[in-house]
Chains A and B, each alone.
Chain A
Amino acid sequence: MKIFFSLLMLCSLLLSDATIEVIKKVDSLPSLAVEDSSSSYDDTFKLTFFKSLIADLNVLSIFNVDRHHNVVHYNDTNVAVENKDMEYVLRYKLSEDDSGALNVESKLIKDKTTVFSKSYKISRKMVYMFVSHAMAYDINEFMGKPSVAWMKRKVIFSRIVAPKKSELVISDYTLTYQHVAVSGGFNVFPKWANKAQNAFYYTSLDGKQPTLKRVAIRTGKTSRILSSDGVIICSDVSDDGKKLLLTMAPKGQTDIYLYNVETKKYKRVTKYGGIDVSGQFQTDNKIIFVSGRLGYPNIFSKKLGTREVEQMVYYGKSNAACSAHNEYIVYKSRETSNAFSKNTFNLHLISTKTDFIRRLTATGVNEFPRFSRDGDAILFIKNYESQSAIGIIRLNHNKNYLFPLKYGRVQSMDW
């Protein structure tokens, strides 16, 4: 009996570890169909909204979502014949009011009973994707699943449009909505300045020296933070927004610096004579970073205020980017080292508490991993040919989703 219980406990421990893959779960997911009862708008827009909603519901990873577009009357008591075997049916109705706003009524039906309903309104129909994200978010909340608050967060990314020309773009997590926040010039490495996402930092490469700038979105006010010869990048912002981890090279030597936003003072954190970059807060006084101190890029950690440096990753010959959330570290590893053909970069997840490694991607160039604030999902960039896509990995559901960028190449992004 004791052995049985200890086995049971071991199993439950393993199941809560995100480095362990969850397989064969799909069969057990409830089925969900979506029914369209829209009264306004043309078919193209109706279908666009439907596809956006299907994509969001899929990313939730809690349903087997049926992709057929069925049209029924909103007040019909029965679901469409095709959907009679579905466990859940989500029915919605798009309508345009006199002011041109998009109104959406929605209800979730289970066993012919409406179990959840909610209405939404947004001023312009072209920003419909935020309604679709909100609907998926609410259904996830109703189902009592772990929060997908990241679905409502904004992504900021730099898009290279020509050599030495880039745009900083603010978008939703699927890249469907895009707003160019900074255009013209050569600006890279945007980073949200706080949790509220009402300001961001970026590196301007236009002047004599690389310069870190801060933009307050509401006022549009741009302020200069620091300049450094060679390179200056804001790699991470502390949870309270008061401390920044910068990569700078004031003397041609890239190192990590800790910058205090209030006092505007900074101090050097790493002192290795080679490359130290990409500092990320793991806790308030511990960082992980990428260093070339073994002769190839790899992931290390350091307690602030001490000399103690620890190697975090023992798999992969070239691990040049990382992101941390509590004990979990996701890193990018170059799997081929070839000067003469295409190379493969994959993302891997490790836990500092176990020896497990989980490979998160299989092919292509996958880079720039970024944990969501709650650690539930990882956002990353997948580059193929001359195009980019933003990918989402749902760790606990073992699923990846890709949202392609219409043009240009993503240089870096933050979530």
Chain B
Amino acid sequence: MKSIILSSVVTALLVFSGCADKDPAVDTANSGAKQAAQEVEAPKTETVSAENSSVNSNSNSFDLATLQGQIAPVYFDFDKFNVNAANRDALSADADIAKANASALSLKLEGNCDEWGSDEYNFALGLKRASAVKKALVAEGVDASRISMVSFGESNPTCSDKTQDCWAKNRRVDFKLIP
């Protein structure tokens, strides 16, 4: 009897104190045939933050947008992270823009993959691609300290069809110019 009273008190304390344990757990203290209904608690989770992507804006936004439009992405072969011959000219042209008109800006390289895999390895592959582009840019004379990198894995597709052309478009490194 004592233990039933004790467990009832503990149950009541847990229920009324809005306790830390958010498990939708059923207190199993009582299991007799004529027990009272057990409270099942749903998780009282709240939306804890609403972060929106920060958008960099300044008075030169028009110029920035124009320059941004001139820098072309670099595309990669399936499961590869080396810059192939077909993309080398495009990369050189990007390096020229980075050194000339965009010389006052920082460069953020965004590595992307196709949809085949949503794990850390895919993110690492995206980063390898960004890293290959960074090396090529530095070799072309772009200051390494201006370049930062990020990998978005498969989470930033430009094309969502189930075709090989589409997957090829998603295996890329994008350039973002940052004031």
Contact surface of A with B, Cβ cutoff 8 Å: 103-105, 114, 117-124, 127, 130-131, 133-134, 137-138, 141, 152-154, 160, 163-166, 170, 172, 177, 179-189, 196-198, 204-210, 215, 217-218, 220-222, 229-231, 233, 235, 247, 249, 252-254, 275, 277-278, 290, 292, 297, 320-321, 332, 334, 337, 339-343, 345, 365, 367-368, 381, 383, 385-386, 409-412
Contact = CB atoms under 8 A, between A and B. Distances in A.
Contacts of A134: 24-26, 38, 40
Given A183-B50, A217-B48, A412 B119 contact: yes
Nearest to B26: A134
A190 B22 CA distance: 18
27 contacts: A105-B37, A119-B37, A121-B38, A121-B40, A130-B41, A131-B40, A154-B24, A164-B152, A181-B48, A183-B50, A184-B50, A184-B53, A187-B51, A197-B23, A206-B51, A208-B148, A215-B48, A275-B124, A277-B119, A278-B119, A290-B121, A292-B121, A320-B122, A321-B120, A340-B164, A410-B118, A411-B153
Contacts, number: 222
A185 B53 contact: yes
B33 interface: yes
| Interface core residue of A170, A186, A385 (most chain B CB under 10 Å) | A186
A172 B24 contact: yes
Contacts of B156: 163-164
A185 B52 contact: yes
B148 A229 contact: yes
Interface of B: 20-26, 28, 31, 33, 35-43, 45-54, 77-79, 108, 115-125, 127-128, 130-131, 134, 148-153, 155-158, 160, 162, 164, 167, 178
Given A120-B37, A206-B53, A340-B164, 12 more contacts: A118-B31, A122-B42, A154-B43, A163-B158, A164-B152, A170-B45, A172-B24, A179-B43, A205-B150, A231-B123, A231-B150, A410-B118
Contacts of B117: 320, 334, 345, 367
A345 B119 CA distance: 12
A215 B150 contact: no
B160 A411 contact: no
A339 B164 contact: yes
A275 B37 contact: no
Nearest to A235: B120
